[in-house]
Structure 1
């Protein structure tokens, strides 16, 4: 009997383990062959799929070319998954052409381009405002004069960011009195792909509305303060009151409507007012959240969303379960104590700075054995990089680690801050030689 095909369209390289997890479930539970489509595939890509097709989802003719390359297997392609921002529109269009169920491709452009999403918001601004959802003023810019013009119109501050970049790359918060020439220089590398200015959202707290289909949960985001508001941790479950939960869910579902999400995954980043009655969407995403958010959900709620995604794609997903937290968990981004050149090879063989940091954190917080456990750890790059002690984007971190907290002795957010401090000391102790501490210039 001919095996059915699961088509996976693109993915971010840092998520290769997730693709492998999807593949294993498709093989084991659906007897499927897995075909991966991505640009310039490597041996690593070929190791996680039965077949890899070299095709760039950013090509204007991606869907047309993909249909031609896969047309002879159309009858066997029973399910499809789009797993990257770059492919969110073109990948959905390819699946539509192949007759595979997928969320609509046309509105998906708003889940790739921040500018297109703001345009979609502007078209229904009156409706959103009646739901107490802020619609920030925005403008696409291509010159220093345009940046200065936006600054004049928004003297209290604003944000400048690329229209289509992830991981907080290129995001700069502009405050009154900041040097606009320096700001423009920071976003200059992204100008070709598009840069926008947005009115500053005056809400301090940030969450994400995460899930798959109608299954949803709230994740709390912890961000750095100051000029570079990069995320430093994701926490589950989010600590919110019922009226705050209602506000965040209302904003998250409206974002899903605007980008066409219906059955697939979503990760919508949302800011919440201090009174919990108002919200603003930072950006929507039609994919699982990064920073191991679906792994956090597995530990906290006991549900494997990757398995459920594959089952939903094949049309066999079970009824929606109730999500009841059994513990709390966090993914924490881990940096360096001083500006320095760093690569994981600088760490002494056999040293485990993350395990050491988790142990020190548990001791400092008076936690019993087994209450705080390390569940995952990974270096963000094997290459030598110049890292800033004050991270400017997520590329300035050395590693990320996940922890699970059981019991009620302390709060997971307290653990996050204590762990980051303990990590800096543990990493310094584990370094091979003082040469690795040299400052960047």
Structure 2
């Protein structure tokens, strides 16, 4: 049984379903709200239930309780279902991490309350517990601003992908900040002090197997994730600090056998850490795909095995390469659809080729592994992305050249992408020069005269 997933993970669900059939000889039941035709294609049974519905567990148990003996394993694949899905699996007698503590991996306020309850324990491990408060009015926001004059973060308590996260600095408009989180007030909004540490990593893995991913985020008002790099460039002390904090997060949210993606800030001297947020699900931005290329381990297969009670060792092999996922935006605020790209154009491959040339890399030393447009629809995109949905595309590359720095490669690739995209859509300088020099067709000349 697979309980819920974010639409961007449909290929991962397909991958897990196929493995469950081939490796364990099972059929796959999927539970999610408003299932699609694709869901019916990749799973043997699809049940239309919303894990956020107040009566989700009771309704699902009435439906599936008489069939308990049919189910051998279950996984929860979304933040929305992390607690209700775990409760259902517990009631069906299936192996799952703690349902009672799972809420901390979904609700940011609940997690901060858990941190505060164990403040002394966490402080002894050099993990900073930030000040925080829930707000439901502009006055509440102003009160928190007065007590944190150096700035703070305001964000929804139950949203992912950086949606609604706003950094408020001295001099910023509180009215504008409150307006931006207005759509999330019904679900809850939280203010937190700014974490004093600059570097950010994620503690990722499954069960007792872990690795550390380096996160590249935008600076400024919207701290959107723009790239993920694996393996993270850390020395022993830095890695130990991130791992120590990540394990403490897992204890607080009840993770034991399942997946985790805990976002951690690290001080420059590695003496302190702070938690941005926990997650009891596989990481986004293709991080588990990066791990497959870097370590040769398919964590989705291992997750299915773990649900059946089959666990692997805790040691990772040495990395085979470095890999990165890069979010790809637009140069200026504009409406964009992938249909704008000329037939046969390959803007990501072009940007990667330009990046390889800039770093003196051979073509095979910087390879494209995946590329996808985030949506086929025409959307209004911001040049300064406000959340992870505010990008045009996402691409993954693998770097095999010894001594090359993936972080520098990522920086160059993000700089090269807008030129490649504009050239593929006829918006670049060269395309405009060619258009200006081309002779006008008769009809076009008449239109121009009019």
TM bucket normalised to smaller: over 0.9
**Normalising by the residue count of structure 2, what TM-score does the alignment of the two structures yield?**
0.94
Contact map agreement 2:209 2:313 (CA 8 A) in 1 = no
Quick one: distance in 1 between partners of 2:408 and 2:57? 47
Counterpart check, 1:265 vs 2:221: no
- Quote the residue 1:195 is aligned against: 189
Contact map agreement 2:101 2:254 (CA 8 A) in 1 = yes
Taking the TM superposition and a 5 Å limit, the aligned residue runs for 1:299-338 are 299-338=293-332
Counterpart check, 1:393 vs 2:381: no
Which of 324, 345, 349 is equivalent to 1:351? 345
Counterpart check, 1:213 vs 2:207: yes
Taking the TM superposition and a 5 Å limit, the aligned residue runs for 1:10-49 are 10-49=4-43
Counterpart check, 1:180 vs 2:174: yes
Counterpart check, 1:113 vs 2:107: yes
Q: How far does the alpha carbon of each residue in 1:336-357 deviate from its partner, in whole angstroms, 9 at most, with x for none?
A: 0111110111111111101111
Taking the TM superposition and a 5 Å limit, the aligned residue runs for 1:136-175 are 136-175=130-169
- Quote the residue 2:447 is aligned against: none
- Quote the residue 2:407 is aligned against: 413
Quick one: distance in 1 between partners of 2:239 and 2:284? 21
Contact map agreement 2:353 2:363 (CA 8 A) in 1 = no
- Quote the residue 1:223 is aligned against: 217
Counterpart check, 1:403 vs 2:400: no
SS of alignment partner, residue 394 of structure 1:
coil
Counterpart check, 1:59 vs 2:59: no
SS of alignment partner, residue 70 of structure 1:
helix
- Quote the residue 1:79 is aligned against: 73
Which of 272, 277, 288 is equivalent to 2:282? 288
SS of alignment partner, residue 73 of structure 2:
strand
- CA shift at 1:409, angstroms? 4.3
- Quote the residue 2:437 is aligned against: none
Contact map agreement 1:158 1:174 (CA 8 A) in 2 = yes
Which of 244, 250, 256 is equivalent to 2:244? 250
Taking the TM superposition and a 5 Å limit, the aligned residue runs for 1:338-377 are 338-377=332-371
Tell which structure's C-alpha radius of gyration is larger.
Answer: 2
- CA shift at 1:59, angstroms? 1.1
Q: 1:130 to 1:31 in 2, by over 3 A?
A: same
Quick one: distance in 1 between partners of 2:44 and 2:426? 41
Q: How far does the alpha carbon of each residue in 1:251-300 deviate from its partner, in whole angstroms, 9 at most, with x for none?
A: 10010001000100000000000111100000000000000000000000
- CA shift at 1:433, angstroms? 6.6
- CA shift at 1:72, angstroms? 2.9
Q: How far does the alpha carbon of each residue in 1:81-113 deviate from its partner, in whole angstroms, 9 at most, with x for none?
A: 000000000000000000001001011000000
SS of alignment partner, residue 215 of structure 2:
strand
Q: CA RMSD in A?
A: 1.1
Residue ranges of structure 1 left out of the alignment (5+ in a row): 1-6
- CA shift at 1:432, angstroms? 5.2
Contact map agreement 1:342 1:387 (CA 8 A) in 2 = yes
- Quote the residue 2:376 is aligned against: 382
- CA shift at 1:316, angstroms? 2.3
Quick one: distance in 1 between partners of 2:426 and 2:11? 29
SS of alignment partner, residue 195 of structure 2:
coil
Which of 108, 123, 133 is equivalent to 2:127? 133
Contact map agreement 2:250 2:256 (CA 8 A) in 1 = yes
Residue ranges of structure 2 left out of the alignment (5+ in a row): 433-450
Quick one: distance in 2 between partners of 1:257 and 1:319? 20
Contact map agreement 1:346 1:433 (CA 8 A) in 2 = no
Quick one: distance in 1 between partners of 2:61 and 2:20? 22
The count of aligned residue pairs is 429
Taking the TM superposition and a 5 Å limit, the aligned residue runs for 1:234-245 are 234-245=228-239
SS of alignment partner, residue 96 of structure 2:
coil
- CA shift at 1:395, angstroms? 1.5
Contact map agreement 1:247 1:279 (CA 8 A) in 2 = yes
Q: How far does the alpha carbon of each residue in 1:223-274 deviate from its partner, in whole angstroms, 9 at most, with x for none?
A: 1111111110000000111111111111100100010001000000000001
- Quote the residue 1:4 is aligned against: none
Counterpart check, 1:102 vs 2:110: no
Contact map agreement 1:209 1:268 (CA 8 A) in 2 = yes
SS of alignment partner, residue 427 of structure 1:
helix
- Quote the residue 2:448 is aligned against: none
Quick one: distance in 2 between partners of 1:305 and 1:426? 33
